[in-house]
Amino acid sequence: MNTLTITELQEFEQQLIDLFEAGKLRCPLHLSGGNEDELIRLFDHIDEQDYVFSTHRNHYHYLLKGGNKVTLMNEIKGMKSAINNGKGRSMNFSDPSMNFYTSAIVGGGCAIAVGVALGLKKQGSKAHVWCFLGDGAEDGGHFLEAARFGLARRLPLTFIIEDNDKSVDSCKKDRWHKHRNVEASNIIRYHYERTYPHVGIGKHVSF
């Protein structure tokens, strides 16, 4: 369903960087640079009726699901005419009209995604639920319990781990030493190298 190109995605986030550096955005930003190729391929398999549960790093997800650039930009700017009246900003906005939801809590969308998938299965719906998380959220119990529940009950639910080997700025080796990835048939994992480092490295606005 996606019609956006890598360049279009990058141009949108560059606009955000420019606005932030000019002091015109009063909210945190978590950018997705370096993540374009994989997401474009993934969203080719996500249908309009499907549900997407995103994270605090959600701009690309929303746009690739079919969201409007102007709508998203207005929300991030905090405009009252925006989709969540400008209260969601970058990290917390949702668009129920297109089955798109976010959570700024790390791993916070996992249990909710399970509940929606369970409801869809009971209703006999053909819709699928896609829940995004990073490798930092993979470390937590929210994700592990949700993945196990979904797998055991054969729910229409897929978890997508965007693995850049960073939880803030700590790699998996430093966090867990002898690290092993969580693997299951309802989990998709891909690796990417982030373009923008987290706050405190390089320019202060690069998250």
Average pLDDT, whole number, for the chain?
87
Instruction: Indicate which CATH number applies to the domain containing 124.
Output: 3.40.50.970
- Is residue 198 included in any domain, yes or no? no
Distance CA 121, CA 189 (A): 24
Q: Residue 89: pLDDT band by 50, 70, 90 thresholds? A: confident
Share of the chain above pLDDT 90, in %: 54
* 186: in domain: yes
Is 14 inside any structural domain?
Answer: yes
pLDDT at residue number 2: 61
Q: ∠153-172-207 over CA atoms, to 5°?
A: 95
Q: Residue 161, by phi and psi: left (phi above 0), alpha (psi -120 to 50) or beta?
A: beta
DSSP bridge pairs for 134: 162
Range of the domain at 13: 6-191
Say if 201 falls within a structural domain.
no
Which tokens in the block code for residue 193? Answer: 């190298």
Residue 204 has pLDDT above 70, yes or no: no
Helices (H) and strands (E) in the chain, counts: 7, 5
Number of domains present in the structure of the chain: 1
Crossing angle between the packed helical segments 69-77 and 6-21, to the nearest 10 degrees: 20
Residues found in the chain: 207
Check: CB of residue 193 under 8 Å from CB of residue 37: no
Closest CA to 114 of 93, 144, 92: 144
Q: What angle do CA 17, 87, 74 make, to 5 degrees?
A: 45
Evaluate whether residue 39 is within a structural domain. yes
CA dihedral for 108, 143, 147, 159, sign (positive or negative): positive
Structure tokens at 105: 């809590």
Do 77 and 88 contact (CB within 8 A), yes or no?
no
Residue 202, pLDDT above cutoff 60: no
> What does the block give as tokens for 27?
């909210």
pLDDT tens by residue, 114-172: 999 999 999 999 999 999 998 878 877 889 999 999 999 999 999 999 987 777 667 77
Domain membership flag for residue 199: no
Say if 197 falls within a structural domain. Answer: no
Is 11 a member of any domain? Answer: yes
